[in-house]
Amino acid sequence: MRTIAIVGRPNVGKSALFNRLARKRISIVHDMPGVTRDRITAECTLGQHPFTIIDTGGIGSDADATFAEVVEMEVQIAIETSDAILFVVDGHDGLTPVDQTIAQRLRKISKPVILVVNKIDHPNHAPFDADFARLGFREMINVSAEHGHGIAQLVEMAEAHLPPPSPEGDDDENAPPIQIAIVGRPNVGKSSLVNAILEDNRTLVSPISGTTRDAIDIPYRRGNRSYTLIDTAGIRPRGKQENSVEVFSVIRSEKTIRRADLCVLVIDASMGVTAQDKKIAGLIQEAHKPCIIAVNKWDLIKEAKGFGTRKEQLAETLEAVRAELFFVDYAPIILLSALKSEGLSRLFRQIETVRQGAKKRISTGPLNRLIGEAMEHHPPPLKGGKRLKIMYATQPDRHDDNDALPTPSILFFVNRADLMVDAYRKYLENTIRKEMPWPGLPLRFLYRERGKRQAVEAE
C-alpha cells in the first residue's frame, strides 16, 4: 500500500491532520504535548485512490522525556517505510529552532517532503507562513486541520508523489482485512504481542503502565490473509485513571472493542485473572464480539512452578482461567509468550477457526428438532405462573454485522420473550453448541412474540 508519514514537533496538529485525512477520530487530539507516542496508521480515501497515512510521535521535545528516544526511533522507521512525508508546522507559533532541526534532517533524505503550515484557520492568517519559506522546501501549503481548509489541495499534492496503485482484481489484496483488537489491562504484554506478530518494534514496549495511549491500527498480512491489528491502551478502573488523556485512551479502547471483528483478550499468566480482566471480558461479552483469550507470559509460569509435568501445568492454568472467565466460555484459550514468540502460530490457527466457524449455519429443520428434543427432555420453568412456549426457531442472515466475522444468532418465535430465564437460555445454548460449536463466537438469541413483527433481544 502507498504510504505517507506525518512528522513534526509536538502539538503542531499532526494528529488533527491525521484524523481529517482518515475522516474519523483515530488519533487522540489534546493540548498536552507528547500525547501521540506510537506510529498510528489509517487509510485515506479522499483522493483518486486510497493510500495509507501514518501519524507519529512529536520529534525534538522533552515534553515526554521518558519516551523521547523511542519516539525518535518510531518517527525514523515511519520515514523509512513511507513514499512521501508531510512535515507539519504551527502557523501561529511561527518558525522554531526545533522546526529548523527537523527540516535539516528531512532535507538529507531522498523522499518528497511537503511542508504543511497548519492552523491557518482564516484568510487573515495566511501571512503567518512567511517565515517557513526559509526552510527551503519546494512544496508548501497552508491548511487548517481543525476546519478542513486546504485539505483537498493537500491530498492532490501528496498523491502526485505516490507510486501508481495496485491493479484492481487481486481478490486477496482487495479483500477486507479482519480487524483484531488486542485488549487488556495495562502491562500484560499487548504491545509486545503485536511486535512479536509483526517481528518488528512497531509499537512502544515499556515496563511503565500506560505506554500505549491510542488505539493503533496496524495493517498485517500473514500468508494470503489480511488483518488489521489494533493495539489498544490498557484499560484501568475509572478511579485509577491519572489524567484526561488516559480517560480518552480508555474510552477509545472500549470503542475499539465495539468496532473490531474479533477481540484478543490478553491475560498475564504470572498474575492470573484479575477483577479488571473480568470487567474487560464483560465489555467484550456486552458488545457480542468474537473473542480469544491469550494467556501471555506462559514462560514465567513454567519457570516459576518447577513441579509437575508440562501437561499438568497446562491443564491447571487453563482450568483456572476458564473458571474465572466462565461467562465468556465460548472464547478459546491460547497460552503464549510474546517475549519468546511462542504460541503465535496457535493464535492465528485459532483465529482462522473462528473465521471459518462464522460461515457455518445450522439448518432450520435440524435446529427445530434439536430444540424440540431439548424442551421435551427439560421443559422451561414457570415464571409468574406462565411457561415459555417456542413455536419455531431459525438462524437468520446477519446483514448488520461486519462481513468479516458475522456473529451467529437464533431467532425464536415465542409466546412471551420475558419468560426466557437465563438458566434456560444457557441450557438451550449449550444444546445448540453441541451440534454447532461456533468456537470463539458469541451466540445471540432473538425473540419474536406472537402477533408482533419486530424481533427483540431479551436482557
Separation of CA 350 from chain center: 18
* Residue 221: predicted pLDDT: 85
Taking only the tens place, the pLDDT of each residue in 315-346 is 888 899 999 999 999 999 999 999 999 999 99
In the predicted structure, residue 422 carries a pLDDT above the cut 70: yes
Residue 257 has pLDDT above 80, yes or no: yes
The pLDDT of residue 160: 93
Quick one: DSSP state of residue 380? P
Instruction: Give the pLDDT confidence score for residue 171 in this predicted structure.
Output: 45
217 has which bridge partners?
230
What is the CATH T-level fold of the domain 171-358, as seen in this structure? Answer: Rossmann fold (3.40.50)
CB atoms within 10 A of CB 96: 16
**CATH, range 364-449:** 3.30.300.20
Return the minimum-mean-pLDDT range out of 89-98, 347-356, 368-377, 395-404: 395-404
pLDDT given for residue 454 in this prediction: 67
Q: What is the pLDDT of residue 213?
A: 44
pLDDT, residue 109, reads: 85
pLDDT of residue 9: 87
Q: What is the DSSP letter of 437?
A: -
Residue 268 has pLDDT above 70, yes or no: yes
And the C-alpha cell for 416? 412471551
User: What are the pLDDT digits (tens) for 371-385?
Assistant: 999 999 999 999 999
Quickly count: other Cβ atoms within 10 Å of residue 322's Cβ.
Answer: 15
Q: How far is it, in rounded angstroms, from Cα 206 to Cα 76?
A: 19
- β-bridge pairing 386-387 and 382-383: antiparallel
| pLDDT value at residue 397 | 72
pLDDT (average), residues 400-419? 82
C-beta contacts of 282-289 below 8 A and 24+ residues apart: 282/327, 283/235, 283/254, 283/257, 284/183, 284/257, 284/328, 285/327, 285/328, 285/442, 287/257, 287/258, 288/407, 288/442, 288/444, 289/257, 289/258, 289/260, 289/262, 289/263, 289/407, 289/442
Query: Rounded mean pLDDT of 288-310?
Result: 78
Give me the sign of the Cα torsion angle 160, 161, 167, 171. negative
Does residue 246 register a pLDDT over 70?
Answer: no
Strand partners, 85: 5, 113
Copy the grid coordinates of residue 167.
Answer: 491493479
What is the average per-residue pLDDT within 258-283?
92
pLDDT of res. 348: 95
Query: Looking at this protein, which amino acid is placed at residue 355?
Result: R
Nearest to 406 by CA among 265, 284, 255, 290: 290
From residue 253, how far is each of 23, 181, 247, 256 by CA, in Å? Answer: 19, 9, 10, 5
Strands 216-222 and 225-231: what pairing?
antiparallel
pLDDT bin (cut points 50, 70, 90) of residue 241 is: very low
Query: 55-91 burial by CB neighbour count: b if 16+ within 10 A, else e?
Result: bbbbbbbebbeebbebbeebbebbbeebbbbbbbbbb
The helix or strand, by DSSP H or E, that contains position 146, with its residue range, turns out to be: none
Residue extents of the structural domains in the chain: 3-159, 171-358, 364-449
* % of residues, the chain, pLDDT over 90: 45
Question: In the prediction, which pLDDT does 357 show?
Answer: 92
- Name the more confident of 232 and 403: 232
Is residue 207 scored above 70 in pLDDT?
no
pLDDT at residue 416, as a whole number: 92
Distance CA 77, CA 56 (A): 10
Phi, psi for 381 (deg, rounded to 5) = -75, 160
Beta-carbon contacts of 209 under 8 Å, excluding residues fewer than 6 positions away, are 186, 187, 234, 236
The C-alpha atoms of residue 163 and residue 156 are separated, in whole angstroms, by 13
- Tens-digit pLDDT profile for residues 438-453: 999 999 999 998 767 6
Whether the per-residue pLDDT at 411 is higher than 90: the answer is yes
Question: Which one is predicted more confidently, 82 or 302?
Answer: 82
3-state secondary structure of 260: coil
User: Over the stretch 119-166, which tens digit does the pLDDT of each residue have?
Assistant: 998 777 677 778 898 898 999 999 999 999 999 999 999 999 998 876
DSSP 3-state percent helix, strand, coil across the chain (nearest 5): 40, 20, 40
Q: In whole angstroms, give the CA distance from residue 283 to residue 263.
A: 10
Residue 31 reports pLDDT greater than 50: no
User: What local confidence, expressed as pLDDT, does residue 370 receive?
Assistant: 95
C-alpha distances (whole Å) from 228 to each of 40, 42, 108, 223 are: 12, 10, 32, 14
Q: Which three cell numbers stand for residue 87?
A: 512535515
* Window from 14-23, 207-216, 235-244, 301-310 with minimum mean pLDDT: 207-216
Question: SS3 of 84, please?
Answer: strand
Q: Is the pLDDT of residue 185 over 70?
A: yes
Assigned superfamily of 3-159:
P-loop containing nucleotide triphosphate hydrolases (3.40.50.300)
Residue 292 has pLDDT above 90, yes or no: yes
Task: Looking at mean pLDDT, say which of 125-134, 191-200, 411-420 comes out highest.
Answer: 411-420
Give the position of cell 489498544.
Answer: 232
Segment 82-100 shows an average pLDDT of 91
- The residues with which 115 forms a beta bridge, in sequence order, are 87, 140
Quote the cell numbers at residue 348.
492465528
Q: What does the mean pLDDT of the chain come to?
A: 81
Residues near 385 by beta carbon (within 8 Å), at least 6 away in sequence: none
